[in-house]
Copies of this chain bind each other. A is one copy, B any other.
């Protein structure tokens, strides 16, 4: 029977993954050693292998857990009855929120996925491409309906997705505006930049 540790909802593996996310974000996947990680968890490096199978597995967990969450959200939004612009805003807000509240894992998923190995790497590349294409389709629908100014959909997608990753600067700031205000300001600028005027 798997023993529950530290907190009933959190296994040792969860702790390892959470600490790993923090270190992978701070230093990068390759620059973080298993000995570094073990030190933060509070065990010896060799002990980690009672709970995980490999360093690579940790990265896979983080990347696919985050990717899945985003895919599920966009599917839900895309199936809803909203204008294209409202859909885009909802997706944008979700990205911003995730980047504020689940920063470590979202950052790692977004910036360190290139260290995955096949077949996970190919899988992730496909997922990311499909996700961008899906966002692009929503934007194109908005252009057809006259809600969104005539622009290159791919460009709009890359702007929004990368602008959100800029929240890493917000996390590093000493004096930062409130999360809600950050979200509203970003939406104002980004959605405002899309709107037909």
Contacts and interface: CB of A to CB of B under 8 A. Distances in A.
A167 interface: yes
Interface in A154-169: 154-167, 169
A152 B177 contact: yes
Interface in A161-197: 161-167, 169-170, 173, 176-177, 181-182, 185-186, 188-190, 192-194, 197
Interface string A4-43: 0000000000000000000000011111000000000000
A145 interface: no
A185 B156 CA distance: 8
A85 B135 CA distance: 29
A169 B163 CA distance: 13
A93 B43 CA distance: 50
A115 interface: yes
Given A28-B114, A151-B189, A182-B152, A169 B158 contact: yes
Contact of A30 (B31, B151, B163): B31
Nearest to A188: B151
Contacts of A167: 158
Interface of A: 27-31, 111, 114-115, 132, 149, 151-152, 154-167, 169-170, 173, 176-177, 181-182, 185-186, 188-190, 192-194, 197
Given A28-B29, A156-B185, A162-B169, 20 more contacts: A27-B114, A28-B114, A29-B31, A111-B111, A149-B188, A151-B185, A154-B169, A154-B176, A155-B177, A155-B186, A158-B167, A159-B163, A162-B164, A162-B165, A162-B166, A163-B163, A188-B193, A189-B190, A192-B192, A193-B194
